[in-house]
Amino acid sequence: MFENVAIVGVTGAVGRIMLGLLEERNFQAKNFKFLASARSAGTKLNFRGAEHTIEELTAEAFQGCDLVISSTPDDVAADLLPAAVEAGAKVIDESGYWRMKPEVALVVPEINPQAALDAKGIIASPNCSTTQMVVAMKPLYDASRIRRVIVSTYQAVSGAGKQGNVDLDAGTKAALAGESFEYSAFSHPIAFNAIPQIGSVKEDGYTSEELKMVYETRKIFGDEEIQVNPTCVRIPVANCHSETITVETERPIAPEEARELFAAFPGIEVIDDTPNGEYPMPNICSDRNEVFIGRIRRDISNPNGLSFWCVSDNLRKGAATNAIQIAELLVQNIGS
């Protein structure tokens, strides 16, 4: 058990889910400390039936902590989390800043738990779109190494933060009323639209969100030869990212075998009955911690190809749940 645990960013969407998961999963620690920006410091929150005061996030606030679970913007993570490591804490970070640092473990517990156990200091949690994809890939990869992945994402507005949901709600109301609306989170209207760019433009016309899926996937699997071709699209859905995924494996994996592999893998739930209209959709997968898979079928263009549909709550398994699972993994192996 950890003695003193700090939860950073408790007033954000991911931070609030973290608090709920710590309660639901009965995460054991002697003391909890709740940190947020100066704007939120001094406000109260309820945790496990008791009222707690949120403290300001500063370097000094980490003194005495042996575990820090953090969800902040990249610049805050870069500036302050090294102080937590210097204070002697293990740090689980949700930001994008540390993920591709060579000395930092990038962890999805179902895939590379040993990386978390071997880590010194900061453990990074991957980008939400990467996380659900690699969980879906893992049982197939173990059965026959994956050579190539083609993925298109259909990402919810919650992935752009609270303002993303505001833009969707207010923008939709304005569009239906025939009124104009000034979007804040998106560069184009999201209501009744699809925006085929998430993040800034990088090399070869790919975006920063797309390249995260390339490089994070290789790091998590420890396989630099996996080829990933991603296209990331923002759609007018409140929560849950959806992905169409086609993998090419070293040997053919039939849809029947794939269903068995998916169903047996922890953290995956299969909903796959297309003739009866049963498959994962955001409106039935929201507020769930699993990765959902359906529309499993062979790739008719490649004898070693398999295609499927994947949906997951980007705020849960894509962020908060993965971080708490890493913390649970560390607790299970304390002293081992």
CB 94 within 8 A of CB 323: yes
Residue 11 DSSP SS3: coil
First-to-last alpha carbon distance for the chain, in angstroms, is: 12
241 as an active site residue: the answer is: yes
Do strands 55-56 and 146-155 pair parallel, antiparallel, or not at all (unpaired)?
unpaired
What does DSSP assign to residue 127? P
128 as an active site residue: the answer is: yes
Which one is catalytic: 65, 128, 240, 285? 128
Which one is catalytic: 65, 240, 241, 310? 241
- Cα–Cα distance measured from residue 128 to residue 34, given in angstroms and rounded to the nearest whole number: 24
Catalytic residues, which ones?
Answer: 128, 241
